[in-house]
């Protein structure tokens, strides 16, 4: 209980040293295909919610923020070949797996290397939990999406903290907490629990937030 309180009550700061440690961790993790795979089953609800929320992606610019090896982006362009999906990640070793037609870019979730309103849509799947300064990362995600564009965030629920082993910088967030951060920048926000498979009821571990700017 004390560790949980310390982790979520203090205001986190993303120092240069911590960012370097996070980058090294994911550089090393890129070689672990079992836990950081290059592909994902397109039937998983985490993928389907992106496709259903964004709709027709022909000619649209989409940002995968914290893309890892680009597995979600590959499904998007596979179903919508005209989509222009940009995968951004902190680890170069991860980005080596992000090949054309995806566009790869190195960067930080708290300082996205894109202009204001550069994208029609953006999403972050289990990446904001590593941003440390999560509120700042949310503001950046909203900044690079144009007015009327949509943002999807899928991540772990703070109420289930402690069920998985996590690195010392990782932070989960609550449903209302993320809704509040998104509402500072977006006109509409909704959220719900989500499972991996359509025939399995959500257990509360994962939440999905959908916002329209």
Residues 6+ away with beta carbon under 8 Å from 36? 29, 30, 68, 69, 94
The answer to whether 71 and 102 are in contact (CB under 8 A) is: no
- The count of structural domains within the chain is 1
Rounded-to-integer distance, Cα 179 and Cα 190, Å: 7
Residue 59 has pLDDT above 50, yes or no: yes
The answer to whether 98 and 107 are in contact (CB under 8 A) is: no
Could you tell me the two tokens for 191?
Answer: 């959220």
Q: Using pLDDT thresholds of 50, 70 and 90, give the confidence band for residue 1.
A: very low
**Mean pLDDT, range 163-169, rounded to an integer:** 94
Output the pLDDT for position 104. 98
Domain of residue 136, residue span: 2-212
Residue 7 has pLDDT above 90, yes or no: no
- What are the Cα distances from residue 66, in Å, to 9, 15, 54, 94, 120? 25, 18, 18, 10, 17
Rounded-to-integer distance, Cα 115 and Cα 111, Å: 11
Rounded-to-integer distance, Cα 200 and Cα 136, Å: 33
The pLDDT tens digits for 83-133 are 999 999 999 999 999 999 999 999 999 999 999 999 999 999 999 999 999
Residue 2 has pLDDT above 50, yes or no: no
CATH at residue 176: 3.40.50.150
Residue from 196, 205, 204, 207 nearest 43 by CA: 196
Question: CA triplet 50, 44, 26: central angle to 5 degrees?
Answer: 80
More confident residue, 185 or 7: 185
Q: Kindly report the average pLDDT of the chain as a whole number.
A: 95
pTM listed for this prediction: 0.94
């Amino acid at each position: 209980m004390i560790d949980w309180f310390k982790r979520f009550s203090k205001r986190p700061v993303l120092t240069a040293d911590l960012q370097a440690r996070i980058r090294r961790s994911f550089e090393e993790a890129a070689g672990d295909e079992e836990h950081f795979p290059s592909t994902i089953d397109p039937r998983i609800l985490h993928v389907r919610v992106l496709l259903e929320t964004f709709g027709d992606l022909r000619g649209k610019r989409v940002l995968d923020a914290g893309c890892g090896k680009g597995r979600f982006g590959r499904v998007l362009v596979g179903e919508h070949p005209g989509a222009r999906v940009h995968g951004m990640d902190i680890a170069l070793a991860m980005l080596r797996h992000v090949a054309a037609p995806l566009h790869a870019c190195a960067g930080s979730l708290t300082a996205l290397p894109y202009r204001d309103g550069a994208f029609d849509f953006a999403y972050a799947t289990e990446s904001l939990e590593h941003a440390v300064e999560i509120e700042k990362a949310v503001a950046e995600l909203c900044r690079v999406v144009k007015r009327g564009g949509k943002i999807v965030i899928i991540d772990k629920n703070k109420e289930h903290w402690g069920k998985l082993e996590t690195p010392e910088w990782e932070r989960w967030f609550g449903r209302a907490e993320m809704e509040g951060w998104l509402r500072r920048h977006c006109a509409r926000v909704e959220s719900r629990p989500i499972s991996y498979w359509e025939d399995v009821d959500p257990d509360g571990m994962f939440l999905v937030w959908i916002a329209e700017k």
